[in-house]
Amino acid sequence: MSPQLDEPDAKEILVASDAATRALSAAPVDTDFVARVYEKISSVYDLFYGPTLHAGRLESIGRLGIRAGDRVLEVGVGTGINAALYPRDCNVTGIDLCSSMLEKAERRIAGHRLTNVRLLQMDAEELTFPDDSFDVVYAPYTISVVSDPVKAVHEMRRVCRPGGRFVFLNHFLSSNKLISRAERFIAPLTVHVGFKADLDLPAFLVQAGLDPVSIEKVNIPRIWSLVTCSKDA
């Protein structure tokens, strides 16, 4: 299926010849490094990544097509900033690597008196759920954070039921040459504040074997993408 693409030149990039082999980022990190960074920034996460990324969260949640009774998995639930945005009649499981982020999420969920959200400490790259456990698997602002995005998205697809959707919301390397050069340059610095600025979407899609149903620009400015994939029924 050909994805619906917002960017006019994205199709051309999708077929770029070395997408199957090139590095996904100039700043590879391991999972222990990511865990340490998030333990450090958990107290200021909401301040820096709360309002700035919230338009994208609001826009995206409405596009997930969640129905009453759906089992939803949020990968990288962080401080639980999305928790109150999910419809109350779906069942949400939020997983995260980092205990101090999860502690904040626990408090937020209690504050909102949410009874449809449970939290678990788990590595996105080694989910402990059985295959086909969820109707919707959603990774908001997480795929450029994990150490191995291909492994994480394979796990997202595995735990998604046939016919369900797995979706990621993220900023990716710009298709503009000048901007992408700057993003690659700063990526070794941005990993210290929790993300890779230069995750290469076309290479990621090819290397993960993904054929998204849609890629839509969200947030303000519109430099974040909501990538929706469906698992074959």
Write out the residues near ligand SAM by the rule CB under 6 A: 31, 34, 38, 49, 57, 76-78, 81-82, 95-98, 101, 123-125, 140-142, 145-146, 194
The least distance separating ligand SAM from the CB of residue 14, rounded to whole angstroms, comes to 25
User: 57 or 71, CB closer to ligand SAM?
Assistant: 57
**Beta carbon of residue 154, minimum distance to ligand SAM (angstroms, whole number):** 13
In the complex, which residue's CB is closest to ligand SAM? 78
The nearer residue to ligand SAM, 140 or 212, going by C-beta atoms, is 140
Q: Which residues does 204 contact at the CB level (< 8 Å), separation at least 6?
A: 24, 143, 149, 150, 153, 172, 210
* Preceding omega of 221 cis (within 30 degrees of 0): yes
- Nearer Cβ to ligand SAM, position 168 or 174? 168
Q: Which residue's CB is nearer to ligand SAM, number 57 or number 108?
A: 57
In the bound complex, what is the minimum distance in angstroms from residue 121's beta carbon to ligand SAM? 8
CA distance between the termini of the chain: 14
How many Cβ atoms are within 10 Å of 54's Cβ, its own excluded? 15
- Least distance in angstroms from the C-beta of 109 to ligand SAM: 13
